[in-house]
Amino acid sequence: MIGQLILSLLVFAIILMLEWRPLRKSTRSTRLISFSLYALSSAIWVWLQVSMHVPRPAVYLEMLLQPFDILK
Amino acid sequence: MEQISRRQMFLIGAGYTFDATLISLPAQIIGVAKQDAWMTYPLASLLILAMLWLLSKVSQRFPDQDLFEALTHRYRLIGRLIVCSMILFTFLILQRDLRMFIDFSNIVLLQQTPLSVIGLLMIGVIIPIVASGIEVLGRVAEIFFVMLALVILSLPLVLLKELDLESLLPIFDGGPGHVAKGAWLAFPYLGEMLILPFVFKSKTFNFRTAAYAQLFGSFLLVILIVYNIIVLGVHVSARFMYPNHELTRQIRLTDFLDRFDMILVSIWASAMFTKVAFSVFVICRGIRRCLPTVSEKLLASPVTVFALVCSFWFFENSLQVVNLNHTWPALALLFQVLFPVLLFFFLRPKKKTPAHESP
């Protein structure tokens, strides 16, 4: 878990380092959305690496749309 | 404001129809429609052309705006809700394409490389394309899609000795129902280009150019599926995960170039980057239309990184991506048929109140 956390923080830090200058000059809403998406991505990535059973949205989407599967 | 020419829009549109559709879908279509699979694309195209016509009429009502802009200006709340749902749908397409692209590269090219590394390398290409703007994206499409189209059009020549035209017979052996089922699988992929009027103003987007793009993309797909049937055969090609890759492996140009498929895959991969980059561009443009203070170029990186992570979260393996194709048309029906029809009837500019004449 700690290894994955460090890895994701490292990627997050590299991206921020590359993007920091334009982000600093941008608007507050751009910064907010960017940081939120980066943080969310890191959190999901760590969760995917650590958790044994991850619920997959594709499975639920398929179950939801199953009645409309005309090929069955 | 960056603008692209109609020719570039044609190439982006045709590429958006063609690039991802050729990965695994042809095998499923051939599995359903057998030797009549080549008829499915024209049939699905007819529906998409009708929807394109509806959207082009809506686009003409707002000559200085794209449809995202028109929706958010005309209906403040419902318009934004529709834009958000279109963004979400495009995001689903984006992360599905990204995952198919990563899986394909892993299975065919880089078997020992972890998926996450392949994904990171890919977004390292996609982000700069999107961050450079739509003009650069148009120029990238001008180079790589044209190369890809030329290669596909030359396939009949290089595969001449492998043909078995009898594989296409008998026509309508399974009845027209099978063709209709194949078209049901094909239409959401062909309909992805319906997003064009949402990001391009009617100065760039017009029905004729978009229709040509749709027809050209479908024509290239028909060439590929016909060659799948007559070179590999119905039963074999329906069982492949990547039938078009197997098809290109049959190409042997004399004795000195027997891995011609590697060259083809590299050209296709470059065109595929354009498709994925365009999806990211659409999402960033949509967010900007909802929140005008946001910079769409700076959103390219976080949106692409988020899509990459979600592509690993949504799908456990490549089979799940392929299986989703069976139910995907039901979801696409909402965004690619219902939305255009609703917009055609309800999205109109405000009536101008007549100015009172002074006595």
Instruction: Examine the pLDDT at B356 and tell me if it is beyond 90.
Output: no
Q: In which domain, by residue range, is B63 found? A: 6-346
* Interchain contact, A41 vs B185, CB within 8 Å: no
User: Does the beta carbon of A7 lie under 8 angstroms from any beta carbon of chain B?
Assistant: no
Task: ipTM value, please give it.
Answer: 0.93
What DSSP designation does B154 have? Answer: H
* Tally of domains within chain B: 1
Contact: A59, B299; criterion CB under 8 Å:
no
Q: Classify residue B356: in a domain, yes or no.
A: no
In whole angstroms, give the CA distance from residue B277 to residue B326: 25
pLDDT at res. B256: 60
Model confidence at B149: pLDDT above 80: yes
Looking at the complex, report in whole angstroms how far the Cα of residue A56 sits from the nearest Cα belonging to chain B: 5
DSSP annotation of B238? T
Domain membership flag for residue B340? yes
Instruction: Look at chain A and report how many structural domains it folds into.
Output: 1
Q: Per-residue pLDDT tens for A22-52?
A: 888 889 999 999 999 999 998 998 899 888 8
Higher pLDDT, B218 or B253: B218
Among chain B residues, the shortest Cα distance to A36 is held by: B302
Residue B355: its pLDDT value, please?
58
Is B358 inside a domain boundary? no
So what's the pLDDT on residue B181?
Answer: 92
CATH number of the domain within which B150 lies: 1.20.1740.10
Q: How many CB atoms lie within 10 A of CB B270?
A: 18
Q: Is it the case that residue B3 has pLDDT exceeding 90?
A: no
Average pLDDT over residues B324-350: 92
- B353 pLDDT band, cuts 50/70/90, is low
Q: Which residues of B touch A (CB under 8 A)?
A: 32, 120, 181, 184-185, 287, 291, 293-295, 298-299, 301-303, 305-306, 308-310, 312-316, 320-321, 323-324, 326-331, 333
Report the pLDDT value the prediction gives residue B359, as an integer from 0 to 100.
47
The 3-class SS string of B56-70 reads HHHHHHCCCCCHHHH
Per-position b or e across A20-59, b if 16+ CB within 10 A of its CB: eeebeebeeebbebbeebbeebbebbbeebeeeeeeeebe
Buried b (16+ CB within 10 A) or exposed e, B229-252: bbbbebeebbebbbbbbbbbbebb
Q: How far A1 CA lies from chain B's nearest CA (Å)?
A: 17
Element (H, E) at B288: helix B260-290
Instruction: Give the gyration radius of chain A's Cα atoms.
Output: 18
- Is the CB of A58 less than 8 angstroms away from the CB of B321? yes
Tens-place pLDDT, residues B264-283: 899 999 999 999 999 999 99
Closest-CA distance, A41 to chain B, in angstroms, reads: 5
A53 and chain B: CB distance < 8 Å anywhere? no
Instruction: State the smallest CA–CA distance between residue B272 and chain A in angstroms.
Output: 22
Separation in Å, CA B225 to CA A11, A16, A24, A67, B148:
41, 45, 50, 29, 16
CB contact under 8 A, B313 and A70: no
Of the CA atoms within 13 Å of residue A40, those in its CB half-sphere come to: 15
Interface test with B, best of A7, A11, A25, A37 (most B CBs within 10 A): A37
Among candidates B184, B291, B310 on the partner chain, residue whose Cβ is nearest the Cβ of A70: B184
Amino acid at B233: G
In a domain, B352, yes or no: no
Question: B61-116 pLDDT, tens per residue?
Answer: 998 899 999 999 999 899 999 999 999 999 999 999 999 999 999 999 899 999 98
User: What pLDDT, in 10s, does the model give residues B7-48?
Assistant: 999 999 999 999 999 999 999 999 999 899 999 999 999 999
**Joined tokens for residue B237:** 């090609």
- The region, left, alpha or beta by phi > 0 then psi within -120 to 50, assigned to residue B34 is left
Question: Are the C-beta atoms of residues B31 and B185 closer than 8 Å to each other?
Answer: no
- Domain membership of residue B355 (yes or no) is no
Using the Cβ of A51 and the Cβ atoms of chain B, whether some distance falls under 8 Å is answered with no
Do A65 and B303 lie within an 8 Å CB cutoff? no
Tell me the residue range of the domain where A62 lies. 2-68
